[in-house]
Amino acid sequence: MMKKKVGVIGGGQLAWMMAQVAPSQNIDLLIQTPSNSDSAVSLATKTIFAPIDDAIATATLAQNSEIITFENEFVNLDELQKLADKGVCFYPRLSSLSPLLDKYEQRCFLKDNGFPVPNFKAYNSFNDFDSFSFPLVLKARRHGYDGQGTIIVKSEAELKTILPKFDGVSLLIEEFITFEKELAIVAARSVNGEIKVYPVVETYQQNQVCRWVIAPALLNSDKITEIETITQKLLIALDYVGVLAIELFLTKDGKILVNETAPRTHNSGHYTLDACETSQFALQLQAITGKPFGDTTLKTSGAVMINLLGYESANSDYLEKRQKIESLGAFVYWYGKTESRVGRKLGHVTVLLTDDNPEKLYQQAKLAIEKVESIWR
Ligand code: ADP
């Protein structure tokens, strides 16, 4: 069978993990990424060195690939549309991405399509804050990631010191949700409309950055069905092809709200590499190349994923700590980044869980998080 060539816009850890599974599907992975030190460069068949939003570089990527996909949504959609008009195949389609790239527009799309979301408003003038009480949440409408650009504002005084720092940046104002827990789901839709979902997981964010994920979430079956229904409806509303993630809040009064959706593979799905028959990266490649979907169920009772977040500015590869974590029986992924910064995702760890009792499994997960984090500090 002929090898397929897939181009990826972005060359960070998501493309790196996709590049690891590509050979098993007879796929050559090409990437577009700015720096030689980006994680996926060493594994890609070919790299076009250019910024993510450089559509001229994407035209070159397209000359070398049959399908283009994304690991990063900081693209210039208008420029990419010119390539699509000339016949370049993007999955997910640009029309699926276009309502999602700006956090305000994404919220409007979700609300207009009947999905439950927190109250929100675009920021234009100070009066826009009148309908919100403190704490409130301010978000940069574009280019936010890992909590960069998401700020919880506790008082009017704090607001007045923060706003000038965002001069010239479009902002979204949002009600602060007191949640019971945060949840996420990763799912995929194929070119012919078939949908596959992974288990709903619990995620834990500190300073707006994901610290760990427990799969499956300890949640009653009604809530799981509700989230799966939201997922299916969203994939269809977007006429989506590929893997998509949804981050949700379970509020203290038991409501499910959609926080945001990411049109790509996602940190909350990294556990699938070790814990599921088919990983989210394999599923993404199956979805966009029209291959039959693999099984997305868990191979074990559960799993926990712990992010190895930078806790200092350094150039260490932390080999000793990684080996110590590995000796716990954990799967360690190191993204090969040469520079550590506080809060930067340097790698992740998966621990498989075996208990059949959901409450005991949850305890097992918490214990595994504690053990890994006691080494990683
Ligand atoms: P990013 O795009 O950087 O992931 P998010 O909008 O997902 O930004 O926010 C990151 C984290 O900030 C969330 O996981 C959550 O912990 C917190 N957060 C975001 N929005 C709200 C909100 N409206 N209420 C309470 N916490 C929030």
Mutate to test the pocket of ligand 1, among 107, 213, 259, 268 (most ligand atoms within 8 A of CB): 259
pLDDT in tens, 209-226: 999 999 999 999 999 999
Compute CA distances 362 → 216, 218, 254, 303, 353, whole Å: 9, 7, 20, 10, 9
pLDDT at position 146 is 72
User: Does residue 177's CB lie within 6 angstroms of at least one atom of ligand 1?
Assistant: yes
Look at residue 144 and tell me whether its pLDDT is greater than 90.
no
Run of H or E residues at 368: helix 358-375
pLDDT at position 121 is 98
For residues 32 and 130, what is the distance between their CA atoms, to the nearest angstrom? 43
Residue 351 tokens read as: 């621990």
* CB of 170 closer than 8 Å to CB of 214: no
pLDDT at position 278 is 98
Look at residue 147 and tell me whether its pLDDT is greater than 80.
no
User: Could you tell me which of 56, 60, 62, 54 has the C-alpha nearest to residue 7?
Assistant: 62
Where residue 60 falls among pLDDT bands split at 50, 70, 90?
Answer: very high
The whole-model pTM stands at 0.98
Compute CA distances 139 → 75, 121, 151, whole Å: 19, 11, 6
The residue-averaged pLDDT of 126-139 equals 97
Centre of ligand 1 to C-alpha 61, Å, is 33
Look at residue 298 and tell me whether its pLDDT is greater than 80.
yes
- Please give the number of the atom of ligand 1 that sits closest to the Cα of 118: 23
Residue type, 338: T
pLDDT at position 128 is 97
For residues 9 and 60, what is the distance between their CA atoms, to the nearest angstrom? 12
User: Could you tell me which of 269, 271, 211 has the C-alpha nearest to residue 244?
Assistant: 269
User: Does residue 74's CB lie within 6 angstroms of at least one atom of ligand 1?
Assistant: no
Strand pairing partners for 5? 28
pLDDT in tens, 163-213: 999 989 999 999 999 999 999 999 999 999 999 999 999 999 999 999 999
pLDDT at position 143 is 86
* CB of 100 closer than 8 Å to CB of 246: no
Where residue 304 falls among pLDDT bands split at 50, 70, 90?
Answer: very high
119-175 falls under which CATH superfamily? ATP-grasp fold, A domain (3.30.1490.20)
Q: Where are the domains of the chain?
A: 4-90, 119-175, 179-376
User: Does residue 174's CB lie within 6 angstroms of at least one atom of ligand 1?
Assistant: yes
Spatial strand order of the sheet with 171-175 comes to 120-122, 171-175, 136-140, 150-153
Q: What is the 3-state secondary structure (H, E, C) of 230-263?
A: HHHHHHHHCCCCEEEEEEEEEECCCCEEEEEEEC
The residue-averaged pLDDT of 230-252 equals 98
Which residue's alpha carbon is at the smallest distance from atom 8 of ligand 1?
A: 147
| Second-level CATH architecture of 4-90 | 3-Layer(aba) Sandwich (3.40)
pLDDT in tens, 259-290: 999 999 999 999 999 999 999 999 999 999 99
User: Does residue 119's CB lie within 6 angstroms of at least one atom of ligand 1?
Assistant: no
Spatial strand order of the sheet with 46-49 comes to 46-49, 27-33, 4-9, 67-70
141, HSE (Cβ side, Cα atoms, 13 Å) = 19
Task: Please provide the CATH number assigned to the domain covering 179-376.
Answer: 3.30.470.20
Centre of ligand 1 to C-alpha 258, Å, is 11
Q: Do domains 4-90 and 119-175 have the same CATH topology?
A: no
Average pLDDT, the chain: 97
For residues 100 and 146, what is the distance between their CA atoms, to the nearest angstrom? 17
Look at residue 2 and tell me whether its pLDDT is greater than 90.
no
Look at residue 63 and tell me whether its pLDDT is greater than 80.
yes
The residue-averaged pLDDT of 125-129 equals 96
Centre of ligand 1 to C-alpha 174, Å, is 10
pLDDT in tens, 318-375: 999 999 999 999 999 999 998 899 999 999 999 999 999 999 999 999 999 999 999 9
% of the chain beyond a pLDDT of 70 = 99
